[in-house]
Structure 1
Amino acid sequence: MTAGKTTLRLDDFLPYRLSVASNRVSSAIATAYQALFGLRIAEWRLIAVIAEGQGMTQQALGAATRMDKVTVSRAAIALVDRGLVARQPNAQDQRSHLLSLTAAGQDLYESVAPKALELEARIFGGFSPKELAAFRAVLDRLEASAAALDPE
């Protein structure tokens, strides 16, 4: 290494480490959701967000989940095709539809949510309540810091 020259070491680069950790957690969860409920992560995220705020546009879902519009669209189509989500006209914007859970979608949500909480408990079981509180606080600060750099 030349004097004054900075070298990027990927294993020490925090954004990379965060991405790897996130991918590992997502992969473990995705495997369980697919095996138990036939859901992809994007589909589950839409179901969970819709369950929290009935009647959402795809644009609002994209903003809430930080997923791109193609991923949101594909997941929404899959959920509508499975009868888990219904599309309704949006009275406030004729160009968009509101997505809401059907009775089957609500039933699925009520089945998946406890499993999601169980997986979270297994993943974070080795952390103390104090460590989890600190981790959540760091995540909040990290998201706010990254949001300040994000042009969206």
Structure 2
Amino acid sequence: MCNHLSRCHAEAQPGPEKILVKLDLFSFLPFRLNRLAAEVSTALAEEYQQRYGLDIPGWRILATLGFREDACTAQFIAQCTRTHKSTISRAVNALLERELIERVENEDDRRELRLQLTPKGRALYHELVPRLKRREQEILSCLSARERDSLADALGKIERHLDLIQASHGHDDPVAVKQKASVG
């Protein structure tokens, strides 16, 4: 038995070299979300890669532009989709070559070029969306309607907590998007 309380406490506590903190990667939320996102993206990519020759960054550009009513910058798409700007740049060039998107001048600032779908790109977008929505339903078919709603709510809450920019806000200005998100 220890005579001094401080000595007993010191002996009971393992030294820094003895403390081993382990992380179960398969129960670690960031890993699980990343793995799930990769699997879902791969499952959806089957719909547009083989049939239409689109890669994931190309689809993300088409999806962002197809959802929006107005043109936007490649930088905005990179921010919204959390895709590196060089990856977006390569995908933009490929989509321009295929005449699925086009560059247009910003009416307020002629130095800035924005992207928008061409009629060919819009037709492809409208052809793909129902296929991808069906595939999404297949993926989520293991969840009840209530579980789907709960999942959407939980993901939205995490996204808001992390202050993610959403393409659905319809702004190219990240500051305006943040301000709008914090108000709503």
Contact 2:47 2:132 in 1 (8 A): no
Of 37, 43, 46, the residue aligned with 1:22 is 37
Candidates 46, 49, 52, aligned match of 1:37: 52
Identity among equivalent positions (%) equals 33
> Matched residue of 1:67: which SS?
coil
Q: Flag the structure with more relative contact order, 1 or 2, with Cα contacts below 8 A and sequence separation at least 6.
A: 2
Structure with higher Rg: it is 2
Unaligned runs of 5+ in 2: 1-16, 165-174, 176-184
Alignment length, in residue pairs? 149
Shift of 1:52: 2.0
Counterpart for residue 3 of structure 2? none
Partner residue in 1 for 2:156: 140
Instruction: Write the distance in 1 (CA, Å) between the matches of 2:35 and 2:113.
Output: 35
Q: Which residue of 1 aligns with 2:169?
A: none
Give the Cα–Cα distance (whole angstroms) in 2 for the partners of residues 110 and 80 of structure 1: 18
**Deviation per residue, 1:93-147 (Å, 9 max, x gap):** 3442111111100110111011110110110012111000000011011212333
Superposition RMSD on alpha carbons, in Å?
A: 2.1
CA contact (8 A) 1:37 1:112 kept: no
Give the distance between the partners of 1:108 and 1:144, measured in 2 at CA: 31
Q: Which residue number in structure 2 is paired with residue 12 of structure 1?
A: 27
Compute the displacement of 1:5 (Å): 4.1
Cα distance in structure 2, aligned partners of 1:43 and 1:111: 15
1:92 is matched with: 108
TM-score, normalization: structure 2?
0.74
* 2:162 partner SS: helix
Which of 131, 142, 153 pairs up with 1:126?
142
Structure 1 gap segments, 5+ residues each = none
Partner residue of 1:57 out of 61, 67, 73: 73
